[in-house]
Amino acid sequence: MTASGLRSVTFETRNLVRAMKGELGPFAPGRIVVSGMLAEQLSRQLSAGADRGAVVIGDTSQLAGAAAVVHVIAGEPSSADDALVQTADRAGVPVVLVQLWPQADWTRPFVLSPFVVECRTGEGFPLEEIAGRLAEAAEHAPALASRVPALRDAVIRAVVRGATVRAALLGAAGSRMGAARPVLALEQARMFTRLRAMETGSASSEGLPVLAGVAAAAVASSFALRGVARAARGFLPAPLANAAVAAAATWALGEAVRRWGQVLHSDTPV
């Protein structure tokens, strides 16, 4: 590698470290406020293993500092339900609506919130689906999942899925708009940071050597992936080859981080 090439790689690695540190700085991710029918039961299930105060039962008076509200309704949304959603919206707090025992002739409450979960009679609360909606709704979902283990799997899937889709788009666009390698490295580094936040609470708790090592690995990997993509172009159109390689590599990285996290949590099977 030439001296100018080495300087370029060093500069890129430094920028990745800066981006990773800025991605999830120290902040309080807020709490989940559970309200409505059977709120105590749902709160108890969501708060299993969670930090104290991470999941609370409350109403609009608890919205300050909240990450999200999970509101349980039965039947048609009432004026009180509508008022809660509007108050939360003004406070910038997303609302996940859980509709109990939905009937065919009930109004689906998507007009109140895009995050709606249906709970069928006799099936109990669909915690996995509720966690998925919270992963979509919460602004700082990885940090929230570090405090609420019930969200962890859903947030991991959301982070990896989003990064994989963006990587595929970057790979495909790179064929027409120029080299996507540095941007892809940045996307993968950011995904790593978000996933690690579920273990550490925030990116800032990672030491500088760790971040520098991850950034250097991301840059090196991006060069290797460029070679793989070039080889794949002998069998596939360039946009498809680039997209497939970028998406597969990003998904594999996310899966590796997920499995490593499960090793750290020995009670969770890999």
Which position has the token pair 């666009």? 173
Return the amino acid letter for 209: P
Neighbouring CB atoms inside 10 A of 226's CB total 18
* Ramachandran category for residue 150: left, alpha or beta (phi over 0 → left; psi -120 to 50 → alpha): alpha
Domains of the chain in start order, with CATH, are 3-26+152-264 (no CATH), 31-139 (3.40.50.300)
What pLDDT sits at residue 203? 46
Q: Give first-to-last CA distance, the chain, whole Å.
A: 40
Please tell me the distance from the alpha carbon of residue 227 to that of residue 29, in angstroms, as a whole number: 40
Please tell me the distance from the alpha carbon of residue 92 to that of residue 56, in angstroms, as a whole number: 18
Phi, psi of 24, deg, nearest 5: -140, 75
pTM: 0.76
Segment 78-88, tens digit of pLDDT: 899 999 999 99
**Residues with Cβ < 8 Å from 67, sequence gap 6 or more?**
29, 30, 31, 32, 93, 138, 139, 140, 144
One pLDDT digit (tens) per residue for the chain, 270 residues: 555 555 555 655 666 666 666 665 556 778 999 999 999 999 999 999 999 999 999 888 888 889 999 999 988 888 999 999 999 999 999 999 999 987 777 777 777 788 999 988 778 899 999 999 999 999 889 889 989 999 999 999 999 999 999 888 887 876 554 467 777 888 888 888 888 777 655 544 455 556 566 666 666 666 666 667 667 766 777 778 788 888 888 888 888 877 776 655 555 444
What pLDDT sits at residue 15? 62
What pLDDT sits at residue 136? 93
What pLDDT sits at residue 75? 83
Tokens matching residue 167: 């990587």
Strands 115-119 vs 31-36: parallel, antiparallel or unpaired: unpaired
What pLDDT sits at residue 270? 46
